[in-house]
Amino acid sequence: MTEQKYTFTKFSSNPFYEEITDRLIQLADIQEGGRIIDLACGTGLVTKRIMAHLTDARDTMIIGVDHSASALREAVVELKDAKNSAVVFVESQVEQLSEAIKEKVDAVFYCNAIHYVPDKDTLIQDIAQTIKPGGKFVFNTSFYDGPVPESTLAFYRKWMFKAHRILNKEYGLRAQKSEKVESRRQLNVKQYRELVERNGFQILKEKIDPVKVPLQGWIDISKFSDFIEGSMPGVPFDKASAALRKAARQTFEEMKITYTVRNWLDIVAVRV
């Protein structure tokens, strides 16, 4: 079981995911030209969508940054036909952005990854060092502490209960406690706003984007290493993934649903 097999690509190939990304990029209202960082770019979906939004991308340079060498290899292949703008990829921890990228940029996109970092103040201060005054910091996350529809809570509870039961019954395995996972404290919208504003930015726009995620979305997120590790720490990926997928199918069937709503928090801030 290689790391390569459990990248984010399957989930990010879902049409609803591209739509979320497009709405965020539209909200950000970025200018042509200049330099843009796609932070935690993974396998390159956001990079691709940023390029699609630029009518004339020739003067724009996009720098994808991620710590996963296997994800970056996939991103290079995904973007091999990108002829109109310069795209480069840099392997780095997000926490070391200002060391990895010395020249200041016009915008940083940071999609679906801010919730991984425990020390968010230090991270945002470092990102601020990398953005020109007046430049934009744009991020989204669906892992924040906000109101969740009651029907969705029932879905998560049933899904996880079933998944752990399958794991135990079919594979004789149990998930372990993980300090890494437990350190990922979720912030609420106000805390995200304050975090950004006390570290060199002013919020321009803030939006909650409710998204209908069909069964395929939950199946595909169950094939992503970070999600598997977060839900079933310490369990081999193949077994955890199989249990999560089987449980998702059973839960959708039992609840007679065709989607569950998941909220994404979108924030666009400007460097002061």
Query: Smallest distance from the beta carbon of 169 to ligand SAM, in angstroms?
Result: 30
CB closer to ligand SAM, 112 vs 260: 112
Task: Tell me how far CA of residue 46 lies from CA of 53, 183, 200, in angstroms.
Answer: 11, 26, 24
CB closer to ligand SAM, 95 vs 197: 95
Nearest to 173 by CA among 73, 259, 242: 242
> Which residue number places its CB atom closest to ligand SAM?
42
CB closer to ligand SAM, 144 vs 173: 144
Query: Smallest distance from the beta carbon of 224 to ligand SAM, in angstroms?
Result: 7
- For residues 21 and 112, give the distance between their C-alpha atoms in angstroms, rounded to a whole number: 10
Contact predicate 39/94, CB 8 Å: yes
Contact predicate 28/245, CB 8 Å: no
Place of tokens 């290899």: 73
Query: Smallest distance from the beta carbon of 265 to ligand SAM, in angstroms?
Result: 13
CB closer to ligand SAM, 70 vs 250: 70
Query: Smallest distance from the beta carbon of 179 to ligand SAM, in angstroms?
Result: 16
Nearest to 22 by CA among 226, 14, 214: 14
Place of tokens 């939950």: 218
CB neighbourhood size of 254 (10 A): 11
Query: Smallest distance from the beta carbon of 159 to ligand SAM, in angstroms?
Result: 19
Query: Smallest distance from the beta carbon of 148 to ligand SAM, in angstroms?
Result: 19
Contact predicate 251/155, CB 8 Å: yes
Place of tokens 């002013």: 202
By the criterion CB under 6 A, which residues form the site for ligand SAM?
8, 12, 40-42, 45-46, 66-68, 71, 93-95, 111-113, 116
CB closer to ligand SAM, 108 vs 248: 108
- For residues 262 and 17, give the distance between their C-alpha atoms in angstroms, rounded to a whole number: 11
CB closer to ligand SAM, 173 vs 231: 231
